[in-house]
Structure 1
Amino acid sequence: MLTAQTKEYPLAKELQERIDLVLESHNYDPTQIVGILLEVQDLNERHYVPEPTAYYIANRLDMRVTNVFDCLKFYSELSPVPRAKYPIQVCCSPACRVNVIDSHRLIETLQDLLDIKLGETTYDGRFTLEKVTCIGACDRAPAVRINGHVYDHLDTKDKIEQLLRSLP
């Protein structure tokens, strides 16, 4: 057995059942860990995979929990820490920084409107502002990704304000 897990975290039976359904839909295949984690993360309102859940998944897939955490920390769509209801991901890849003059203005505008800095969450828990490597929208920049959805052509303060107001 690969898993020499030292921590045991009991999860609520209902959560275990929901996670097991996700694992079953992926045939308990550890090579599908990213897809599994994305689906399990969607079960959590704060858009993250808590440590007890990571241990549970590692045990069920018979894999090292460090592999689970490596995925959680590597992929920008995944998180091992709680996020806001709406994590706003701004692309800061070299291609976007070179090709999109407005990306820096987008970050500044979001910081001003939300009164937070990169990596912070608003006081009400609605928004987290994150810098990510790529959101796959170079042709539509400046853009952000929020809960997996790309919002593009955010080149004015009015468009950014409208986007923020449109999120319930």
Structure 2
Amino acid sequence: HRDTPDNNPSIPFEFTEENKKRLDSIIACYPSAHKAAAMIPALDLAQRQHGWLPISAMNKVAEILGVPPMRVYEVATFYTMFNRQPVGKFHVQLCTTTPCMLGGVGSDLILDTIQKHLGIKAGQTTKDNLFTLTEVECLGACTNAPMMQINDDYYEDLTADDTIRILDELKAGKKPKKGP
């Protein structure tokens, strides 16, 4: 981690009252001597609240769970599901590993379609902060390749037309049909 004006330990992070209750119920699922076992769901809750996972949120999780901050940093940096930089409202994660590259129309075509349609490259966010595009490793549905995950939803057996429709529906505030 490198401190920036938007991501440094001096920026306060607090869970909302509702999320404090959620976190308490998550922690209650584990033996009191093993509160640290709630680390991944606690980090996920912080990320869902904030939209991404800043260092101050990681420090708050460490404080609540009673563990050294380094233990939280180790987990947050290991798992790719944690976004340590801001992402758009819709985080488009496209699998580009071999099965998705070879399946159906292929992930190369889908990647090209997304980049042209949104006007961004992998690793970038649209100017309106709606979409962030990330190339990822296997998403676990190789039989329905190519596929992408947008936030918590999976879209499988993609074609270029399907991909454009999904992105346009999200931009219009609609909920596209997910799955294969």
CA 103–85 in structure 1, closer or farther in 2 if over 3 Å, else same: same
**Cα distance, 1:98 vs structure 2:** 5.2
Relative to the length of structure 1, the TM-score reads 0.81
Q: CA RMSD in A?
A: 2.2
What 5-or-longer segments of structure 1 have no aligned partner? 1-6
Matched to 2:37, the amino acid is: T
Output the amino acid matched with 2:13: L
Residue 62, structure 1, aligned to residue 66, structure 2: yes
Correspondence for 2:92: 88
Q: Cα offset for 1:116? A: 0.6
Determine what percentage of the aligned residue pairs are the same residue.
Answer: 28
Structure 1 counterpart of 2:39, which letter?
A: I
1:76 partner SS: coil
Superposition deviation, residue 18 in structure 1 = 4.1
* Worse overlay, 97-106 or 126-135: 97-106
Residue matched to 1:11: 13
Amino acid in the other structure paired with 1:104: D
Indicate conservation of the 8 Å contact 1:69/1:80, yes or no: no
Residue 38 of structure 1 corresponds to 44
Query: Match of 1:129, as an amino acid?
Result: L
Residues 63-112 of structure 1, C-alpha deviations (whole Å, 9 max, x = no match): 12223223323323221111000000011334434556611111111111
Worse-superposed segment, 117-126 or 23-32? 23-32
- Partner of residue 133, structure 2: 129
Aligned twin of 2:161? 158
Bigger relative contact order, structure 1 or 2 (CA pairs below 8 A, ≥6 apart):
1
- Contact 1:142–1:152 (8 Å) recurs in 2: yes
TM-score (norm: length of structure 2): 0.77
Contact 2:99 / 2:145 at 8 angstroms: preserved in 1? no
Following TM superposition, by how much is the alpha carbon of 1:33 offset from its aligned partner in structure 2, in angstroms?
Answer: 1.5
Between stretches 157-166 and 82-91, larger displacement belongs to 157-166
Number of residue pairs matched by the alignment:
157
User: For residue 11 of structure 1, what is the amino acid of its counterpart?
Assistant: F
SS class of match (1:71): helix
Q: Residues 99 and 142 of structure 1: is their aligned pair in 2 closer, same or farther, counting only changes over 3 Å? A: closer
Match of 1:17, as an amino acid?
A: E
Helix, strand or coil: the match of 1:117?
coil
**What stretches of structure 2 of length at least 5 have no aligned partner?**
1-8, 29-34, 174-180
